[in-house]
């Protein structure tokens, strides 16, 4: 087992790639009562076209299969639902699907190994029938309709669709009523056998564990299956340009919602490609977002004092295979003013340069935020899994942050925060 120690975070990562290709990561937390495990597959809603290892023909499946699979995995041949079984044991279990990965998890203070039996059993033993697949279409159909009525989701999705013309990140993770109607058990088994192979999966365990002991327990519960070859993922070619700058939707909201999007080049297409560049760029963008529109920024104070906004926006940089973008979301009685003011602030900082004192203060605050993530087993495990599927060891953020300087950040500002790559999505009150 490889041991990676980070002296700044005072944490150790124990990791091993098993014979079947499964990567297991263990972050021990001595004295911590809560235990957390997450098991993910490098497979999300973006993977609708691919070539199965050993085949030559392209397989194309309906949108929404990854999420559909996640829903169906809990149903077992004995008639029980594994989510119910885990709840009865006294553990809190869940699952989720993103654009680039699917994950199954549970947390508890007691009964960890009893829960592990059920957990590792259901993830390795899918059970799909014509009847249970048809029944699930009705359940997921209701979920789709619910999201269609959810303003926070629509303002987000509309921003993605304003940025992306073809890339599947623009699509709803759950698919549509039409696309899920085409899903059958054969499609589910094919996607399961392709993407739920151990060589395409990773597991992260965090809590008061002895690494060797928990690793043996994991190995003991794995079924005998060999790792497969590389899955060739096929994505449409996405233009650099945006689709349209503005999109407005009317819904039942008490105050308008807005999302400002900035479309970026995928990091795997950038110069200086590599893990280090990915991490450095992500850090620089986080610093820039705080500098431009964080709670201590001039722009935030100005808009808050005017009453245009009443709270700080959420600000994220999302990136994975084939896509990258910035999203800034919040509520405002005048989203257009927020958008125009933000664009003006970007131009001002581009022209005047980044204030070094501000830069150092924000970088120091961000470093503190990174360190705080190691206080919670949930944050640690989810972070290590998501970063692993991007080819990143989470420790690298702590190691790289002080190498990100003002000059580099100014260059990222110039390259990424381009006005012709910005969009504004608004959800406002129905007339």
Provide the edge-to-edge strand list for the sheet that holds 11-17: 2-6, 11-17, 23-28, 201-207, 35-41, 102-108, 92-97
**Helix axes of 112-124 and 211-221: crossing angle, nearest 10 degrees:** 40
Task: Of 155, 76, 77, give the one whose Cα is nearest residue 119.
Answer: 76
Task: Of 131, 105, 139, give the one whose Cα is nearest residue 120.
Answer: 105
Cα–Cα distance, 262 to 5 (Å, whole number): 36
* Residues 63 and 408: beta-carbon distance below 8 Å: no
Sign of CA dihedral 109, 110, 111, 112: positive
DSSP structure string for 308-330: S-SSPPEEEEEEETTEEEEEEEE
Cα–Cα distance, 171 to 161 (Å, whole number): 8
126-130 long-range contacts, CB within 8 A, separation 24+: 126/69, 126/72, 126/73, 126/188, 126/189, 126/192, 126/196, 127/72, 127/75, 127/76, 127/77, 128/72, 128/185, 128/188, 128/189, 129/185, 130/184, 130/185
Q: Which of 70, 107, 118, 286 is catalytic?
A: 70
Task: Please indicate whether residue 70 is annotated as part of the active site.
Answer: yes
Cα–Cα distance, 3 to 28 (Å, whole number): 11
Catalytic residues: 70
């Amino acid at each position: 087992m490889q041991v990676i120690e980070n002296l700044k975070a005072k944490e150790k990562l124990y990791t091993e790639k098993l014979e079947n290709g499964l990567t297991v990561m263990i972050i021990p937390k001595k004295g911590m009562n809560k235990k957390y495990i997450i098991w993910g597959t490098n497979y999300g809603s973006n993977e609708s076209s691919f070539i199965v290892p050993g085949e030559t023909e392209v397989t194309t499946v309906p949108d929404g299969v990854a999420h559909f699979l996640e829903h169906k995995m809990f149903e077992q041949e004995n008639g029980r639902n594994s989510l119910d079984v885990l709840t009865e044991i006294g553990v809190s279990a869940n699952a989720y699907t993103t654009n680039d990965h699917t994950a199954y998890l549970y947390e508890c203070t007691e009964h960890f190994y009893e829960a592990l039996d059920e957990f590792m059993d259901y993830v390795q033993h899918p059970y799909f029938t014509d009847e249970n697949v048809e029944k699930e279409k009705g359940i997921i159909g209701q979920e789709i309709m619910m999201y269609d009525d959810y303003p926070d989701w629509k303002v987000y999705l509309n921003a993605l669709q304003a940025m992306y013309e073809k890339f599947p990140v623009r699509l709803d993770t759950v698919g549509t009523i039409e696309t899920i109607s085409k899903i059958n058990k054969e499609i589910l088994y094919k996607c399961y056998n392709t993407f739920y192979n151990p060589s395409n999966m990773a597991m992260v365990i965090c809590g008061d564990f002895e690494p060797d002991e928990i690793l043996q327990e994991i190995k003991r519960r794995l079924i005998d299956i060999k790792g497969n070859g590389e899955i060739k993922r096929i994505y449409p070619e996405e233009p650099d340009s945006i689709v349209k700058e503005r999109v407005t939707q009317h819904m039942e909201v008490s105050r308008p919602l807005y999302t400002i999007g900035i479309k970026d080049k995928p990091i795997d297409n950038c110069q200086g490609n590599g893990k280090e560049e990915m991490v450095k760029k992500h850090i620089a963008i986080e610093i820039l977002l705080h500098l431009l529109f964080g709670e201590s920024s001039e722009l935030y104070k100005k808009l808050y004092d005017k009453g245009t906004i009443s709270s700080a926006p959420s600000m994220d940089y999302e990136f994975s295979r084939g896509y990258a973008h910035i999203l800034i979301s919040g509520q405002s009685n005048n989203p257009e003013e927020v958008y125009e003011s933000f664009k003006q602030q970007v131009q001002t900082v581009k022209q005047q340069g980044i204030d070094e004192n501000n830069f150092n203060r924000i970088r120091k605050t961000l470093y503190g935020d990174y360190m705080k993530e190691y206080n919670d087993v949930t944050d640690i495990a989810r972070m290590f899994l998501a970063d692993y599927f991007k080819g990143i060891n989470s420790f690298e953020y702590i190691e790289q942050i002080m190498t990100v300087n003002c000059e580099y950040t100014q260059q990222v500002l110039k390259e990424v925060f381009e006005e012709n790559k910005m969009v504004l999505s608004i959800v406002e009150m129905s007339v």
